[in-house]
Structure formats: C-alpha cells, structure tokens
Amino acid sequence: MAEPATEEAAVACPYSNDELVDVYRKMLEARRFEERSAQAYTQAKIGGYCHLYIGQEASGAGFLSALRPNWDYVITAYRDHAAPLFMGSPPGPLMAELFGKATGVSGGKGGSMHLYDAKRGFMGGWGIVGGQIPIAIGLAFAAKYRNEDRVTICFIGDGAAPIGAFHESLNLAGILDLPIVFVIENNAWAMGTALKYTNSTPDLHMYGEGYNIEHRPVDGMDLFAVKRCADDAVAKARAGKPQLIESITYRYRGHSMADAGQYRTKEEVQEWRERDPVEWLAGYLKEHGILTEDELGQINDDVREAMKAAVEFADQSPLPGAEELYKNVYV
Amino acid sequence: MAEPATEEAAVACPYSNDELVDVYRKMLEARRFEERSAQAYTQAKIGGYCHLYIGQEASGAGFLSALRPNWDYVITAYRDHAAPLFMGSPPGPLMAELFGKATGVSGGKGGSMHLYDAKRGFMGGWGIVGGQIPIAIGLAFAAKYRNEDRVTICFIGDGAAPIGAFHESLNLAGILDLPIVFVIENNAWAMGTALKYTNSTPDLHMYGEGYNIEHRPVDGMDLFAVKRCADDAVAKARAGKPQLIESITYRYRGHSMADAGQYRTKEEVQEWRERDPVEWLAGYLKEHGILTEDELGQINDDVREAMKAAVEFADQSPLPGAEELYKNVYV
Amino acid sequence: MALMQYREALRAAMREEMERDDRVCLMGEEVGGYNGAYRISEGLMDQFGRMRVLDTPIAEEGFTGMALGASMVGLRPIVEYMTWNFSLVAYDQIVNHVAKARYMSNGQFGAPMVMRGPQGGGQQLTAQHSQCVESWYLHCPGLYVVTAATPADAKGLLKTAIRDDNPVIFLEHLGLYNMKGEVSDDRDLLIPFGVADVKRAGTDVTILTYSKMLYPCLQAAEELDKDEVSAEVIDLRSLRPLDLDAILTSVRKTHHVVVVTEDWQPSGMARELSGLIYQHAFDELDAPVEEVCGAPIPMPYAKNLEQMAIPDADAVKSAVRRTLARPGELAPLYR
Amino acid sequence: MALMQYREALRAAMREEMERDDRVCLMGEEVGGYNGAYRISEGLMDQFGRMRVLDTPIAEEGFTGMALGASMVGLRPIVEYMTWNFSLVAYDQIVNHVAKARYMSNGQFGAPMVMRGPQGGGQQLTAQHSQCVESWYLHCPGLYVVTAATPADAKGLLKTAIRDDNPVIFLEHLGLYNMKGEVSDDRDLLIPFGVADVKRAGTDVTILTYSKMLYPCLQAAEELDKDEVSAEVIDLRSLRPLDLDAILTSVRKTHHVVVVTEDWQPSGMARELSGLIYQHAFDELDAPVEEVCGAPIPMPYAKNLEQMAIPDADAVKSAVRRTLARPGELAPLYR
Ligand SMILES: Cc1ncc(C[n+]2csc(CCOP(=O)(O)OP(=O)(O)O)c2C)c(N)n1
Ligand SMILES: Cc1ncc(C[n+]2csc(CCOP(=O)(O)OP(=O)(O)O)c2C)c(N)n1
Ligand SMILES: [Mg+2]
Ligand SMILES: [Mg+2]
C-alpha cells in the first residue's frame, strides 16, 4: 500500500490557489452529480447499469488536472460520470444521457456507461472490461504518428488488470514508446470479488516489470499525492515513456446501483470514508485561508443549483425520435 | 542472456548413464525425424505448414526428461514434432500424421501442427499462437482438482508471450497455485520478427514479476543446465508453485518449411550451430566413456533405420476414408 | 413438481448434477462468494467448496481454455459467462479450440463442457451488453446451441447439456430469471436436444421462436385468437441440432410461417429458419415466410429506442396478418 | 492497364492510397521488415517508414483496438491479419468496439479503418487455419463485409474500403494471391460496395458466389455450356451491403438459382442468400434454391479429406442439374 499523505506532503501543495478551488468545485460537482444520479435511478429515471465513482474523486480529479485541456485524451470504462466533469463537460447533457434523452452527450444512445465528449478529449465510456485499453494506446499512437505532444490517460480497474487486452496494450505501449499513462484504480473490489481472487500479485503496478515500463503506487485518496504523481507521469509520458500507476482508492457505493455491496463490512467502508477527499479538501481550503466558510458555502450552493438544473434539463428534454434508431451506424 | 555452461556444470551431469543414452537417442530421433520430414515436404508428401524444431532439441528433451512418463502432461504449439518423440511416442504414426494418413496419431485430421498422444500425456499440437496456454492451465487445474500430483509443462514461443492468453493464464496459475511450468522457448525470432519488435522486455522470464511467479532464464542449448533447471521447476510446480522459465535457444531452419529465414545472417545461424546439442552430447558420451565410437555408430544406425521405417510406414499407409469426414465432431 | 424461478431451475440442475458426478464443476466471475451476479449459483460454493465452484478473475479467454483443458482430461466443467456478451473475448477459445478439440485429435479426447449464461436485451444495458449470440455460435461445427424459455426447460435441458460429451452453448435470457413455473424434481428427467416443443397448438399459422421471444409470440397468439386466427407457437429450444421434423409437420398443417427472433439479421437464425423451410417445404407454403427480428443496430440505451429495437406482440401480430393476407412484394429487408 | 498478381493489386491499392493520404497507415504482423507473410506489403515499409508500416507483435486484440483508437481521432489505419482465422482473438474488439463506436458516441467519432487479410482453405492448413469468417462478421451491424475474386476487384474495392468512413472487413483468399489479371492504373478508380458483377452472362440458371469459389463456378458454367445449359455467374463481391437488385434481376430471368460458398452451414451466407431470394422472388422460382457449401466440419488435414470438404466444379454442376431437374424432396441439409 502507498504511503499515506505526510504532514509535509500536505504542505507542499502542487496546485495554485485558483487551481485548487477549481479542482474542489469539480470534485464537488462530480459528487453531487452522482448523488443526483443515484436518486434518479431509484426513481427509475435512469435505467440499465449505473456505476458511481463516489469516493474515488481525488484519483480522477488529480490525474486529469495534470492534463492540458482540450488537447490530451482520456478514456475509461463504465464508471465514467466523473471524468468528463473533471474535464469541463457541462453536467446537463451528461445527465440527459443518463436519462436517455435526445439532448444527451451521446444522443441517448449510450447511457451511463457510454458517455463521450470527444471535442474535449474525453473518449468514453466503454463497457467490456479491458476493452478501452487497446483503444487508449491507439489514441496515443495517433498522437505520436502526427508528432503531436498529446498524452493519453487510460483508467483501468483492479478487476480489469487480469484481462488479456491489458497485457497486449502494455507491451505495445512499451515497444512503441507511446505517450500514455495507464492508471489502475485499485478500489480493492472487482464487483464482489476481492483482489486476492482476481490478481496473483497484490501490487498491481508490478505488472510494469514485465514490460520495462516505469511503475509505482500512489495513494489515490490523497489529492496532492495524486497530482504530484500525475505531473511526473504525464511529463514522462509526453516525452515518450509510457507509465503505469496504481492509484489506491475506494468506492463507497456498491459496484453499480443494483449492488448493495454486502461482501464488505461497514467498518471497511467507514474507514475509507474517514479519508473522504471532498471533505478533506474543503477543510484544507478553509484551514489554509484559501476560501472562507462563506465562499465554501457559496460554491456548495452554486454546485447544488447547477446539478439541480442539470436534472431539470434532463427531465425536460425530449426522448430521441424514432428516426434516430438507424442513424450513425452502417447497417 | 543465461550463463553458458561452465566446465564445472558440465561435469555435474544430472543424468545417470542410462538416462543420458536414452536422452541422446531421443534427441537424435527428433533430429532425424525432422530431417526426413523436410525431405518429404520438398517431395510434396507433406502439405500445409511444417515447422521444424531442429536446433532446439536440448530444451525440449531436457525439460521433458524431468517428467514422470505417462503421468505428467505436456502441451505446445505447432512446432510439435519433437515433444511426443521425447515422450516415447513411436515415430511411425507421427510421420503418418504428417503424411495425412489414416494411421496417423490424429487419423490424418491434424497434420504437422496437431499431433496428440493423449495416453502418454502429450496433449498437442495447437495452431493459434498462445491458444495452448489456457488449455495448459486446465490440465494443471484438473490435476489439482483430483489431488493427483501431475505436473503440466507448457511450451510457449517468444512471439507468443505478447498475446493476451499468456497473461490471463499466468495470472490464473498464480492465483490457483497450479502445478505447471511455463517454458518460453526464446529462439530470438517470431517468424521474421526479432524480439525487440515483439516484446517490450528483452528478458522474457521477467513477466513472472507481475504475478508473483518464480522465474528465471536457462541456457536452452545446454542440456544439463536445462535438466537441472527443469528438475527444480518441476519439483516446485508439483508442490503447487507455478514456474516460468525462459529457455534461450535457436531454430536453425526457417519459421516453417515455407520460410527461407533470410531476415538473419548466416553468421548468426552458424554461431548457434556451433553449440549444436546433439553433436555436443555425442562428444560428451564418448569423452566420458559412456559410449564407444561403435556404440554411437550403432545408435545412429538404429535411429536411421527407425526413421526410414517410419517414413515407409507413412508412405504405405492408406488415406483416411471418406467416412472419416464427419467422424469425431458434432455437426 | 415444484413451483420455482427460472434461476432456481438452473441452480437445481447444476446442484443435482454436481451431487451425482464429482467431475462436474462450475467456474466464472462471481459464481462463488457473491453467489452469482444473477444469483444462479446461490449456495453452491457453500455446498461444494471453492474448487468446485470457482471464482475466476475477469479473464474469459483464460478460464474458458482452462475449462477446455480440464475437460480434455476428464472433468466436466460448466463455465458461466456473466453475460454472453463477454464470451466474445473468449471467442477464439470457443470456436478455434473447444469446438475443434475432438476432431483435431481424432477423438483422443473430447471437450465435455457447458458454457452458459444470460443474453439478450430489454433492460437498457446498451450496445455492448444486450446482444444475442446464437448465430455466432451456430455457425461453428462442433458446438450444440441450446436455449430455454421456461423453468422446466431450463432444468431439463441444462442437465442434458451437463451429461453430454460434446461442448454445449447454453443460452439463458436475462429477462427470464425471475419467471416462475412448475419444474419436475425427478433428478433424471432430461430433455433431449433436437426436440422442439409446441407451446401452443394451432392450425392457421406456425410461429417459430425460442427463448424470451416465446412470450410475445404466445401473447400475439392469444390476441389473434379473438380474431379467429389459430396460431401454433413452437419453441425450438435447441437450435443446433434443430428439430426440422417438428417444423415441417407444422408447416404442412398451416402453410403459413412467421419466425420470430430477438437476434438480428443478416446471417441470423431467422433467415436460417426461413431458408430451411423453403428448402424443405417449398410447395407447402402459401405465402413467403415472415421474419420478425431485432433491429440490426447496436442496441441504443434510451428506453423508447430500445423498445423499437426488440420485437413485441404487435410486431408478431402484424407479421401473422401479412402472411395470411399474402401481399405481392415485401419491403426490402436489407437496409 | 497492367497485368498483375492479385497480391500486387492489393499492394498497389495500399501504396496509392498511402501516397494520396498520409493518414492512411498499415499495421500487422510481419508487414514491414519481412514484407508481409504473403508479400502483400512488399516494399511499403521502405517507402513509408516504420511508423506508417508497423510491425506488430502477435497481439491481434491489442493492435485492432489500437487501430480503432487511432481511427477515432483521425487516422485511417489498415489492419492486416496474417489470416482471418487469427482475427478471432480480436473478435470482441471488432464486434463490440469497432462496429459500435460510431453509434454509441452518436457520431462524435467514427472508425474509418480497414481490416484485411486472407481466408479460406485448400492448402492443407487444417482446422484452425482454413476458415471462412464472412458470416461471423456479416452478422454484426456497423461493419461492411467485402470480398474480391480478381486482381481488378481487389484493387478497386480495397481503395473504396480505405476511403470509406465506416469500418470494413475486407476478405482476400489465400488461394488467389498468385492469380494474374488486368488491373487499371487509374488512381481514382473505385469500385463501389453493393454492386455485384456478372462475371458470365447466361439464361438458364443463376449461380451466385464470391471470392475463390468464383472459379469452380465459372468452370462449371463452361462445362455446362457443352450440354447446352446457359449459366449466369454472379460475383457478389460485397456481402454487406448486398446487391439484391442484381440478384433479383438475374433470378427473374433464369428462375433457377444455385448459391455456392466455401463457407459452411448453418447460419451462413448461403442460407442467407437462398432465404433472401425466397423472400423477394418467391413466385419467380421454378425450383428450390440449391446450396453448395463447405462441409460443416473443422477442416481436416489429409489432402483427400480436405478436397471432399471444399466445393468444386463437379459439385456446382450437380447442383445446377438438380435445380433444373427439380426433384421432389431434397436430402436433409442438417446432419
Ligand atoms: C469482459 C467482461 N467480463 C465481465 C464483465 C462484467 N463486469 C463489469 S464490471 C466488472 C468488475 C470490474 O471491476 P474493476 O475492474 O475492479 O472496476 P471497478 O468496477 O472496481 O471500477 C465485471 C466483472 C464485463 N463488463 N466485461
Ligand atoms: C493468433 C495468431 N496470430 C498469428 C499467427 C501466425 N503465426 C504463426 S507462428 C507465428 C510466430 C510465432 O513465433 P514464436 O511464438 O516465437 O514461436 P516459434 O515459431 O519461434 O517457435 C505467427 C505470427 C497465429 N498462428 N496465431
Ligand atoms: Mg475495482
Ligand atoms: Mg520464436
């Protein structure tokens, strides 16, 4: 397990004050967006699978804050609500997608698992475990092919590391010196299966050894540690050295809205909740005089309003028309 | 690269004299069998692909001599002529299979790439790169399931290590503590592609790191080194510790009979030929007074006769009958 | 007889066979500790232990091949795919290895294994999670392909699958797991492959279907009854082998056929059925065979779009009316 | 016009398109340094460099997905599978990702990529190396499926494939690479998808085929000519989209049809074709459609067995005779 944030590390904040406030706002947005999603799911406004990222925000926000907006690429699996928000996607069309509406980012065709915002570099949103990893190296390959200094970040679950596509992609990235950062978000569980039944090694970053790829763990609950690690990894990747990071984190909720998560103890969940990255950051901002209580309250209100508006937008948007059925596919 | 055999190692022979003579005979059989195959291929008596193991004999013979006959399992890819001979399969039905005859080990249905001798534990003979590896862990799984102390040896090419099935299988073997030895036979080339274009690491055994699996290289041209390594690995595997060995070796011929192998220099081939394991062993046997010149000559004659007989058997055997077409498959 | 859910029927089949034969084992994601993603295997790990009810990592190619290897030397594994969509990463192992092992070795070993799990749409699971895979596996010699639409069929057919010496593709439907029905508790009641089941007798039109589509077909038949149209609904159950006799017997009686699949076109089971009927009963048909199929598109998420993409009772009724009315030219089937 | 081999025609198509558009690149095993396992890409790495002609490790799933990702952001990759048999390890990437990317993203990006390579039997390559894959890919919305039987078609169709914005499954045949034919050197001569080619005109019977089976069909037609049977041989070329008009036009003329595929049954292209014809020209047929297909077995190695498993001119001729004679009942097609 990665070192917990030390006092000293916490002091050496890798963000400017403005940046930090921005990250806070985005983490809060993601949190509130997903709380709203959960609510809408229980009201049957959202169907299918719905996987929440709640608890893991420091990992995603930390990594993505190290990227160049509208330039670098990001790709992930089905637990994909937070990433586009971190990248600046407006919440309305994301929520509308979860509601299956015509105004959704994917026109209502993708749903919760298949969000995309290609013009911001967010390339989805994929449902087959491991399936996004070969695609990710393709994004990186295209950048290299065109001599563009774009980096790709690819998120991978601990449960996805055992699948063949992961290995093939690491090897290809290593051979071709692709500008990519593979981030295994080790949240201890693959659905209801604990790590020891899915991976032969407890240290998932160790996979890097087999490919001569730099690898290291990071405490994924510690925003600052993540950001420092991401800055370093992204810079190295941009220079053509693929990186493998294991971000150790935790999801508070079940695997999806359909899972009560009874395979783990209340204590286990509580332990992680005590390190909640959103609350921690609020505390940090106040403690360090970056934001006052009032300003924090204002952000909270703004975000609450924005998410309420997103739900209203989704609610009031029309369903996709029948003529959409055969559009955007060669049949 | 593994250490070359030292003087001392060569002295500490891991075989009894009888065993050593037996291994010699088998290596010679494999060599002559394949020389005959090459000849028959140019005479169009053998069709399809035909991949020769010539040059790699010390690796296969060394590993398989560490197994319990008719008990342990062996599986490999399409370069599969030598393994069954090392396991005691009679050459006639093997050659007849290459000739596509009814008397072939697979009734003429398998050909060069799909030899099987299940009752001796030789489970093939598979043509999709990496495809045999998941099957191999299944053989090991069955042994463990039944509390039988059978070990499985699975041969894998350097070009096969990059495929997903390899990774999935290593991980499963690691999680389940399967009694298996994975042997990567690194012969430097995957068809016409050199190792640096196929694998991100030059040290293929290093893949083991990602799975907590014991791994090491061995000089695959050095029969005694292979045998010592195999004895150790097989014993550990039998005790439930999967092993990954990289056996560094070389094929003298092209990838298959259809490949002239022009991607490498004559000097490269010549360098390896100078360490020819069959010739070396003949020299060792004589030098150490284990066999006289005459006895060696006798073995040579015997083997030549046996291979000639195998070819005659294959030649004279009938083609499979039309009634075979739909047999042994549910259609 | 007992009233039980479809999922319980599957579980009963596995439990009974595992009690009968200790070579039978189950492997897949979440089948053990979690009791199955859809609770099919509930309680089995407690009863049979971790080795016989094996939780695997997400590595379908790896554990399918593992099951094959084990089956080649005498075990009789059941592989659960959490859904059949995920079997596509194991497609090479299934098609190139499982299906061919017995033939390539000329019978030195077989592959007595069952691959099972749910398929199909209707739950807003979107394009990668809503597919029907039957045609992809039908089109491969060496594999049986079997479906079950009722709890009784689920139990009887799965038991047959487990006892058979050939590899079986056993297709359940995600939308049927909660369905209840009477199921025999005879531990040796096997439903043979290749025997279709007339789920509703009729005289005017033959409706051929299988799996969950049985229900819109039965509903359509009931509604058509009010209009004095007597529809025979045949549940094919096993698709390979196919009960051609049962199909032809019905066609010779009704002379009108509608085939209904959730699976899409082209090269799907619907065209296979209509083509076969033409081949074998050309002169018996009074009208072209009507095909009612899932829309040939990746499944969209939006509820309304998904509903348009999956055949329902209305679509079946319209098709029945069309075939009985026998119009001249049909709308193009290819888009 | 120039006389060139089928392999040279493919190479010319790739070279010209790579010269025209620097987003076009080629990747696969042995395509670069080795000049291609079947020498299709000879000289291309020398001309375009290692990045545009990329030697990959044996990782079809990985490099297929890599091509997809690259295509999503603007490259136009050509993926070479050494043979299509090996694409089955990439089946999930192709079916679940390549084919669905554009739809799931509602057109935010597409997947303008070509997947190509040889397929088919006839070289004693045995069960895992001799398959025809068209039906497995046909049965997936989002993919074009195209074949080429002549050097001219190979060039014109491959160029169309490279310029199209949708993913294309481009099926060559291992047994055709050495074949020679006249090929245009017009760099913009594109053969559109969905247009069949009447390779031989006739009036008595329509023979529908594609890829290498064209040749036994043409041979059969020549031989039948001596018996005063005039056979029309149609090379379908692209299977999805399919040129239904061309098929129906011919059927309305001859009223007798034989479909010939190397691919096996069931749920294969042959049944698809016969079914479609019945659906659309039920009244035009004077006899059931005859289907001549590869034997539904894993391909055996022995030369004599392999020959029995692949249709030849004699099989085509017998089928033509059967359909013209119109017997009452046909032999069961299912075994
Ligand atoms: C190939 C494949 N197999 C199985 C599944 C079903 N499935 C979806 S998510 C999941 C667990 C993945 O866990 P992990 O990778 O740790 O990601 P997390 O959900 O924790 O973010 C499984 C088994 C799938 N989507 N794809
Ligand atoms: C999945 C797959 N892709 C491609 C091939 C074609 N192919 C056969 S052997 C081979 C090279 C394998 O090299 P290696 O693993 O080093 O084994 P060696 O031939 O050296 O024994 C290739 C590319 C195949 N059989 N299977
Ligand atoms: Mg996880
Ligand atoms: Mg090699």
Q: Which residues of C touch D92 (CB under 8 A)?
A: 88-89, 91
> Distance, CA A41 to ligand 3 centroid (Å)?
21
Q: Residue C56: closest CA among chain B residues belongs to which residue?
A: B172
**D329 burial type by CB count under 10 A (0-12 exposed, 13-18 middle, 19+ buried):** exposed
Within an 8 Å CB–CB cutoff, is residue A111 touching chain C?
A: yes
> Distance, CA D84 to ligand 1 centroid (Å)?
29
Q: Which residues of A touch B180 (CB under 8 A)?
A: none
Q: Residue B121: closest CA among chain C residues belongs to which residue?
A: C73
> Distance, CA B253 to ligand 3 centroid (Å)?
47
> Distance, CA A159 to ligand 1 centroid (Å)?
6
- Percent of chain D residues past pLDDT 90, beyond the cut: 96
Look up residue D229 and give its DSSP letter: -
The encoded tokens of residue C4 equal 């039980």
Q: Which residue has the tokens 């001392």?
A: B8
Q: Is pLDDT of D334 > 60?
A: no
CB pairs under 8 A between C and D: 153
**D111 burial type by CB count under 10 A (0-12 exposed, 13-18 middle, 19+ buried):** buried
The confidence score (pLDDT) of residue B12 equals 85
Q: Reduced to 3 DSSP states, what percent helix, strand and coil does chain B have, rounded to the nearest 5?
A: 45, 10, 40
Which of D8, D17, D29, D60 is catalytic? The answer is D60
Within an 8 Å CB–CB cutoff, is residue B122 touching chain C?
A: no
Indicate the angle between helix axes C60-72 and B164-176, nearest 10 degrees: 70
Question: pTM of the predicted model, to two decimals?
Answer: 0.97
D255 is catalytic: no
Choice from B49, B75, B129 to test ligand 2 binding pocket (greatest atom count within 8 A of CB): B129
Give me the sign of the Cα torsion angle C317, C318, C321, C323: negative
The per-residue pLDDT for range D219-275, each reduced to its tens digit, is 999 999 999 999 999 999 999 999 999 999 999 999 999 999 999 999 999 999 999
* Residues, Cβ < 5 Å to ion ligand 4: B 157-159, 187, 190
Within an 8 Å CB–CB cutoff, is residue A200 touching chain B?
A: yes
The encoded tokens of residue A68 equal 């160049």
The encoded tokens of residue B271 equal 């360098």
Q: What would the DSSP string read from start to end of A250-294?
A: --SS-SSTT---TTS-HHHHHHHHTT-HHHHHHHHHHHTTSS-HH
Q: Residue A242: closest CA among chain B residues belongs to which residue?
A: B200
Within an 8 Å CB–CB cutoff, is residue C63 touching chain D?
A: no
Mean pLDDT for back-to-back runs of 10 residues, chain C (335 residues): 97 98 98 97 98 98 99 98 98 98 98 98 98 98 98 98 98 98 97 98 98 98 96 98 98 98 97 95 93 98 98 98 70 32
Distance from CA of A76 to the nearest CA of C (A): 15
Distance in angstroms (rounded) separating the CA atoms of residues A316 and A45:
12
Within an 8 Å CB–CB cutoff, is residue C109 touching chain D?
A: no
Within an 8 Å CB–CB cutoff, is residue D290 touching chain C?
A: no
Distance from CA of B40 to the nearest CA of A (A): 38
HSE of B53, CA atoms in CB hemisphere, 13 A: 36
The per-residue pLDDT for range A100-112, each reduced to its tens digit, is 999 999 999 999 9
Q: Is pLDDT of D328 > 50?
A: no
D60 is catalytic: yes
The per-residue pLDDT for range A193-224, each reduced to its tens digit, is 999 999 999 999 999 999 999 999 999 999 99
> Distance, CA B95 to ligand 4 centroid (Å)?
24
Q: Residue D72: closest CA among chain A residues belongs to which residue?
A: A139
Tell me how far CA of residue A166 lies from CA of A138, A205, B128, C136, in angstroms: 13, 12, 20, 25
Helix (H, G, I), strand (E, B) or coil at D267: coil
Q: Which residues of D touch B101 (CB under 8 A)?
A: 302
Distance from CA of A295 to the nearest CA of B (A): 47
Distance in angstroms (rounded) separating the CA atoms of residues A79 and A125:
7
Within an 8 Å CB–CB cutoff, is residue B318 touching chain D?
A: no
D296–B100 CB contact, under 8 Å: no
Residue among A100, A164, A329 whose CB faces C301 most closely: A100
Q: Residue D92: closest CA among chain A residues belongs to which residue?
A: A131
Residues with CB under 6 A from ligand 1: A 79, 127-129, 157-160, 187, 189-191, 255; C 29, 58, 60, 82, 86, 89
Helix (H, G, I), strand (E, B) or coil at C80: strand
Q: Which residues of A touch D59 (CB under 8 A)?
A: 168, 171-172
State the Cα angle at D54 between D48 and D56, rounded to 5°: 165
Which of D83, D139, D326 has the most C C-beta neighbours within 10 Å, making it the best mutation to test the interface with C?
A: D139
B135–C68 CB contact, under 8 Å: yes
B125 cis-preceded (ω within 30 degrees of 0) = yes
Helix (H, G, I), strand (E, B) or coil at C253: helix
> Distance, CA A223 to ligand 3 centroid (Å)?
19
State the Cα angle at A81 between A78 and A86, rounded to 5°: 125
Distance in angstroms (rounded) separating the CA atoms of residues B89 and A35:
66
Q: Which atom of ligand 2 is nearest to the CA of B157?
A: 15
Distance in angstroms (rounded) separating the CA atoms of residues A135 and D97:
9
Closest CA to D287 of D315, D251, D260: D251
Distance from CA of C151 to the nearest CA of B (A): 27
Tell me how far CA of residue B240 lies from CA of B73, B179, B228, B231, C206, in angstroms: 15, 5, 19, 14, 58
The confidence score (pLDDT) of residue D326 equals 58
Amino acid at A219: D
D56–A172 CB contact, under 8 Å: yes
The confidence score (pLDDT) of residue A330 equals 85
> Which residues of C have a catalytic role annotated?
60, 129
pLDDT in tens, chain B (331 residues): 344 445 555 458 999 999 999 999 999 999 999 999 999 999 999 999 999 999 999 999 999 999 999 999 999 999 999 999 999 999 999 999 999 999 999 999 999 999 999 999 999 999 999 999 999 999 999 999 999 999 999 999 999 999 999 999 999 999 999 999 999 999 999 999 999 999 999 999 999 999 999 999 999 999 999 999 999 999 999 999 999 999 999 999 999 999 999 999 999 999 999 999 999 999 999 999 999 999 999 999 999 999 999 999 999 999 999 999 999 998 7
